[in-house]
Structures are given as structure tokens and as C-alpha cells.
Amino acid sequence: MRIPSQHCGRHVSKHSCLSAMDPYCGWYELHDRCTTAPDGDSSSQLWIQNRLKKPDLTGPIDGGWSSWSEWHTCSKNTERSDEDGNCLCRSRSCINPAPRNGGQDCQGIPTEVTNCTVNGGWTEWSAWSACSESCGVAVKTRKRTCSNPKPAFGGRTCVGQDRDDMYCTNIPPCPVPKPPTIDGAWGQWSVWSECTAKCGTGFRL
């Protein structure tokens, strides 16, 4: 008979575990929980049953996962240039219990990897903008962003400029404004001056 790895886990207390008098379950003092015999060893002094005689566990026993370890820094093999390989990892083992007598291995993954350091990468340059002026000196602009990918979990930001400017060519010179034409005009006549002679012939201006 195959005993599922979670078979004994339904007993959440020592009293419940021992009161069930299940021939395949006992209270494991080391982990303070109801389990099948640790590593299939029914003679373990840390595994207690409420029976006069412990069973000979020869049937298949499916494997069960241990608890997850604490998160710790680890390295991840990667071929991506934007990853440093510095990550957070945690692991678990298929030892609670270990599969025995043809029992099934644990289902799932033994290691979780997350928060891998990602260095920032540039997007492609945008198209050039229109020239800033239609004549004379003008510039056009293109831009890019550090989002391919964005830096994450301590990754390096992009190196370089996010904006590129260039002078526009083949722009005609701006026309030089001409001063307005002003025609001449006479002012008012001044008053006549005094005569140039007291007697005889004289003139005044």
C-alpha cells in the first residue's frame, strides 16, 4: 500500500497524532509534527507511536518536501549581457520523508530564484525630429531611454546620452530684412531774415 506524503499531516497535534493509532504515522519530536517514519526508520527514538509494536513499513512511501530555506544571495548562470547573475535563492529537499520502496519523488522544483540583478539597456534611437527652424541655423533631435530593460535590483544604469542633436543641412539662409524706403519732404519755411542793407539794394533770406 502506498502511503501519500501528506497522509499523516492531517494530525496537527501530538495528541491527535497518537490517538489515531495509525500504523504509518507517529509524532516526530525533531520537527514537532506528525509524519511517516523519518527516512523510513520506524525504530528512530525521535519518532513516537501509540502502539505496542511499530509496523514494518515495507510499502511504497512518496517523498515529501522539507521547509524552504532562508533566502540567500546566489549566482545564476546566464548568457544575457544585461544580467550579472546576482540573485536571491532558496531551496528545499525531498527528505520529509525521502521516497522509499518505489514511492514517488517530490513534485515541483527544489530551488527558487528571484530578484536577479538586471543592468539597464538602451532602446533604439527614435526617428529624427523636424528641424527647429525653416531657415538659417536649425537642429534636429533624436532620443532613447534606458528601458530595454530597466535597471533592477541594483543593476547598473545605462552609460551614454539619452539625447542626440544634429545641425540641419540644406537649410536656406534667412532673408535679410530691408529698411523701409522714406522719401524726402520739405519742412516749413523759416521766417525772413533782416535785410542785408539799410539803404539801396539789399536782400533777405
Q: Are residues 22 and 41 in the same domain?
A: yes
Per-residue model confidence (pLDDT) at position 108? 92
- Residue 28 belongs to domain with CATH number: 3.30.1680.10
Q: Please name the residues in contact with 53: beta carbons below 8 A apart, sequence gap of 6 or more.
A: none
Q: Are residues 39 and 4 in the same domain?
A: yes
Give dist(CA 12, CA 33) in Å, integer: 7
Per-residue model confidence (pLDDT) at position 78? 47
Q: Are residues 102 and 146 in the same domain?
A: no
pTM of full prediction above 0.85: no
Per-residue model confidence (pLDDT) at position 164? 95
Q: How far is CA 191 from CA 94, 187, 188, 198, 199, in A?
A: 124, 12, 9, 19, 21
Residue 3's pLDDT band, with cuts at 50, 70 and 90, is low
Contact indicator for 14, 35 with CB cutoff of 8 Å: no
Least confident of 2-11, 82-91, 125-134: 2-11
Write out pLDDT tens, residues 160-190: 999 999 999 989 999 888 888 888 888 888 8
Is 169 contained in some domain?
yes
Average pLDDT value for residue range 99-103: 86
Least confident of 1-10, 27-36, 175-184: 1-10
pLDDT above 50 (res 96): yes
- Residue 133 belongs to domain with CATH number: 2.20.100.10
Q: Are residues 96 and 75 in the same domain?
A: yes
Between these two residues, 113 and 197, which has the higher pLDDT value? Answer: 113
